[in-house]
Structure 1
Amino acid sequence: MKMKRIKMAPSTLLVSVYGFFIVVGACLLKLPISTNGPIRWIDALFTSASAMTVTGLGVVDTGTHFTRVGQFIIMSLIQVGGLGIMSFGILIFMLLGKKIGLKKRVVMQEILNYVHVGGVIRLVKYLFIFSLTIELIAAAFLAMKWVPEFGWKDGLFYSFFHAVSAFNNAGFSLWSDNLSSYVGSPLVNLAITSLIILGGIGFTVIIDVWQKRKWRKFSLHTKVMLVATLSINIIGLLFFFFLESGNMKTIGSMPLSDQLWASYFQSITTRTAGFNTVDLSGMENSTAFLIMIFMFIGAGSGSTAGGIKLSTFVIMLVAMLTYVQGRKDIHLFERTVRTDHLLRVLSITMVSTFVVVAGVLIINITEPLPFLPLMFEVVSAFGTVGLSMGITASLSIIGKLVIIAIMITGKVGPLSLVYILARKQEQKYKYPTEDILTG
């Protein structure tokens, strides 16, 4: 009897594969060899989901609760989740010498936000070579700091673990205070933030810069990402410094140099990575709100980051300015943005807003905790950032399941949505036009 082949939409396939790896990861983390003590199934599942979606939220201390085996499992989940399950699938196919079908190429094209289907396999090759090379180089720099401090065995593992976590914008750390002990360390600050920026700006941007190397030859997406990334990082640094420089619970008691390093680090990590060098539970409400905005925006399309994506935010902003100025076409760097792009941007933003609002509502019903930390937690989960105001471990089982669902939605949802919206459907009819009152 011939078995029927199960057909599955790419969006459904992505969710199913992520779900499968999360469950497998939870089972591996539940093994006695992975932990220094008992761990509940819900906590193992939460940790696995957080690592697979490169979020970084934790319900147990990664450095003390898990053995080296458990930490290696978490690091592996971060690498697979960050670079993409489908990317690893394509790599395995290439290593086995199998042909990559058109359907797989189209799925990878949408996941990596690449323009040409024909070049997507080459992009995957570059992705792996570049990622591993950068992680090894960064680990070598971090080892200069941590090997003398912790010895060769622990120092090298700490260096590679944090290099993988930073490049994939995961935010997992092996210390209870994250990276707060290194708030004034130039080497740690520069190494980690460089990894975060490279991992979050998008692989298509990196390839474009590497191949063309001249501003006028860069694609519109590359120009937007380079300018917007620099701008939002500077804005974040200035705002964090001025809002928190008088707060003794965060950076107020530090010398000026450490305050500047802390402000710089938080401006980079808040949009996607989840590392922190200060205690965020003591920050001002205004700073928390600003960070939530940054987490919702996220970083680059086709990167390891989450959020609605920085390029989406830029198009929304420019579209608003275009309307205010009375112009019809959206112009960026002497190029016109197509109308269908604007519709996609609006759809992604509205769906993302709905997910966050629904998540905040549900978790406020299930959890007897203050509103601001709960909202911060939801936005952090959706943006796959991993920053927290210290309430993650206090969540109930229902609350943890809600956050797990939001983390998966934040990682897979926008990608699936882009793929669905990118499929063109022929419309054979058109209704009469009529105006509607707005504003």
Structure 2
Amino acid sequence: MARRFKGLKLTPPRVFAAGFALIIAIGTLLLSLPAAAESGQHTPFIDALFTATSATCVTGLVIVDTGTYFTTFGQLVILGLIQLGGLGFMTTVTWFAVALRKRISLRDRIMLKESLNLSGIEGVVRLILRVLLYSALIESVAALYFMYRWSYEMPLPQAAYYGVFHAISIFNNAGFELLGGYRNLTPYVNDWGINVVSMLLILLGSIGFIVLAELVDYRRTRRLSLHSKVVLSATAALTLVGALLIFIFEFTNTRTLGPLDLDSKLLASLFQSISLRSAGVNTVDITQLRSATMFLMIIMMFIGAAPSSTGGGIKLTTFVILVGALLAMIRGKEDVVLFRHRIAKSDIYKATTFCFIGLFCVVASTMALSAVQQQDFLIILFEAVSAFGTVGLSGGLTTELGTGGKVIIILMMFIGRVGIVTLAYALQPNPKKEPFRYPEGKLTIG
């Protein structure tokens, strides 16, 4: 029986949402300190809150330049928020409990299941420990490469620091960087090493820890679950389609791909497409993209990454189920079938619900931003979807936001990271079972 605090049942969704809110609150306090800013002054509360939310929700939208505005202390606070936000509140708590040899209760296991979007609690603690091991290993290898690469451009201690920061940021799909001038990775658009390592980090972070664990075990088990098959196939399809369309749309754009040779054009197109899974890093100037490319990116960002990953959006599996339902209806089929498995009707209802709630959030936030910000509608829509999908790519609006606009984006980043349905469950009154059912009605559709 869950405990009650002033009549409020502490359900897993509420604990999950409260955990992220607590991390954001602590991060806001630390980033507000004079020691966190190069100026030695207190960072305005709304700016500290915005940065802490963006880091904890692994989004990457910034209103000040991380590399020049914050001190090393401030940057380390941001890095800590990214790591906590990427791994998740309950994952971190569980690691400390295991390290201190504390018993993981059934309630804790249920909360872990909810935080990772798992179907059951079997093996959840073992998965958490593997998540931490895989994350540390992947980030360490990437950090070593970045350190080696940047040691040619800067002193070794700085290269090591940059390597660790960017490895953690990119793997957790956060999008924060220290290169300065809001340039992101644009100076390295032709650098195959940085591009390939960054793309691998993004993909490994966006496919989700469940899939990652199954891929590691594949040589032994020779099997993948339906979830992993759907995530991997959808990731490959959307990445290739996105890269092809970006390549076509931007091929002659002199402000993005135009000046590059063919190999670099292909590399940049693939990088931008992979980044749309929720990474927030870019190697071309997003503000100079054509309208068709930006609209394509909006669609991809809305879809987002896989469940139990560091990404946001409505999730890949939701999108695949909706596409499957559409194709089944067009073909006159009763069931949605994926990889020779029938999808339960309840999952189709959930996918539809997730999509419509996501659309409502995006529409509402876009309307609100349009009311408080003077900017082209496409740029406003791009920023709203980027926040909802915790992507972090910006069309140039974020640095121009007023207080009202910052509050709207903060809410969207929080909703996108916690999850639209998790947040809905967290805010709803304690559910009560209805004592009766209404008679079924008939409506004419279409």
User: TM-score with structure 1 length normalisation?
Assistant: 0.95
CA contact (8 A) 1:344 1:418 kept: no
Moved more, 141-150 or 427-436: 427-436
1:339 equivalent in structure 2: 345
User: How far does the alpha carbon of each residue in 1:403-427 deviate from its partner, in whole angstroms, 9 at most, with x for none?
Assistant: 0011001111336159779x99867
Identity of aligned pairs, percent?
Answer: 40
Letter in 1 for 2:81: L
Q: Distance in 2 between matches of 1:155 and 1:231?
A: 35
Contact 1:111–1:415 (8 Å) recurs in 2:
no
Compute the displacement of 1:217 (Å).
2.1
Measure, in 2, the Cα distance between the counterparts of 1:387 and 1:311.
22
Amino acid at match of 1:151: P
- For 1:163, the aligned partner's letter is A
Whether contact under 8 Å (1:139, 1:163) holds in the other structure is: yes
Match of 1:262 in 2: 268
Match of 1:366 in 2: 372
- Kindly state the Cα deviation for residue 18 of structure 1 after the two structures are TM-superposed: 1.6
Given that 1:110 and 1:415 are in contact with CA atoms closer than 8 Å, whether structure 2 keeps it comes out as no
What code does the residue aligned with 1:368 have? Q
**SS state of the match for residue 221, structure 1?**
helix
Paired with 1:418 and 1:210, the residues of 2 have a C-alpha distance of 34
Q: Which of 72, 79, 85 is the matching residue for 1:81?
A: 85
Residue 52 of structure 1 deviates from its aligned partner by 0.5
1:169-180 to 2 correspondence within 5 Å?
Answer: 169-175=173-179, 176=181, 177-180=183-186
Aligned to 1:143: 147
User: Within the alignment, does 1:325 sit opposite 2:331 as a pair?
Assistant: yes
Residues 1:275 and 2:266 aligned together: no
Contact 2:14 2:425 in 1 (8 A): no
Q: C-alpha offsets along residues 109-145 of structure 1, whole Å, 9 cap, x if unaligned?
A: 1221223312110110000000001000111111221
Secondary structure, aligned partner of 2:123? helix
State the one-letter code of the partner of 1:243: F
C-alpha distance in structure 2 between counterparts of 1:136 and 1:256, whole Å = 32
Q: Which amino acid aligns with 2:441?
A: E
Q: For 1:231 and 1:329, how far apart are their aligned partners in 2?
A: 23
Unaligned runs of 5+ in 2: none
Q: Tell me whether 1:35 sits opposite 2:37 in the alignment.
A: yes
When the two chains are superposed, the root-mean-square deviation of aligned CA atoms in Å is 2.0
Show structure 1 runs of 5+ residues with no match.
none
Select the residue among 8, 23, 26 that pairs with 1:24: 26
> Shift of residue 95 of structure 1?
1.6
Q: 1:97 to 1:332 in 2, by over 3 A?
A: same
1:301 corresponds to which residue? Answer: 307
Equivalent in the alignment of 2:360: 354
Change (3 A) 1:215 1:234: farther
Please tell me whether the aligned partners of residues 348 and 417 of structure 1 are also in contact (alpha carbons under 8 angstroms). Answer: no
- The equivalent residue for 1:10 is 12
Is the contact made by 1:288 and 1:376 (CA closer than 8 Å) also made in structure 2? yes
Deviation at 1:257, TM superposition (A): 1.9
Aligned partners of 1:122 and 1:4: how far apart in 2? 29
Give the structure 2 partner of residue 152 of structure 1. Answer: 156
Taking structure 1 as reference, are residues 198 and 344 closer, same or farther at Cα in structure 2, changes over 3 Å only?
same
In structure 1, what is the equivalent of residue 443 of structure 2? 436
In the TM superposition, what whole-angstrom CA distance separates every residue of 1:159-202 from its partner, at most 9, and x where no partner exists?
11110011100011112200000001111001111010000001
Q: Which one of the candidate residues 186, 194, 206 is aligned to 2:192? A: 186
1:106: Cα distance to partner? Answer: 1.1
| Cα distance, 1:388 vs structure 2 | 0.4
Number of aligned positions between the proteins: 436
Q: Mean alpha-carbon deviation: is it higher for 423-432 or for 263-272?
A: 423-432
2:342 match: secondary structure: strand
> Secondary structure of 2:151's match?
helix
* Inter-CA distance 241–425: structure 2 relative to 1 (3 Å threshold): farther
Does the aligned pair in 2 maintain the 1:228–1:310 contact within 8 Å? yes
Instruction: Tell me the equivalent position of 2:246.
Output: 240
Distance 1:419 1:41 in 2: 29
The range that moved more, 424-433 or 155-164, is 424-433
* Match of residue 209, structure 1, among 212, 215, 226: 215
2 CA distance for matches of 1:94 and 1:270? 35
Deviates more, 1:18-27 or 1:182-191: 18-27
Q: Give the one of 104, 111, 129 matched to 1:125.
A: 129
Distance change (3 Å), C-alpha of 1:5 and 1:417: closer
* Offset at residue 433 of structure 1 (A): 3.1
Counterpart CA distance in 2 for 1:110 and 1:418 is 13
- Which digits, 9 at most, give the CA deviation of each residue in 1:93-118, with x for residues without a partner? 11222211212211211221223312
2:398 maps to 392
2:258 paired residue number: 252
Q: 1: distance between equivalents of 2:164 and 2:341?
A: 41
What is aligned with 2:66? 62
Q: Hey, what's the Cα distance between the residues in 1 that align with 2:308 and 2:436?
A: 35
**CA distance in structure 2 between the aligned counterparts of 1:4 and 1:381, rounded to whole angstroms:** 33
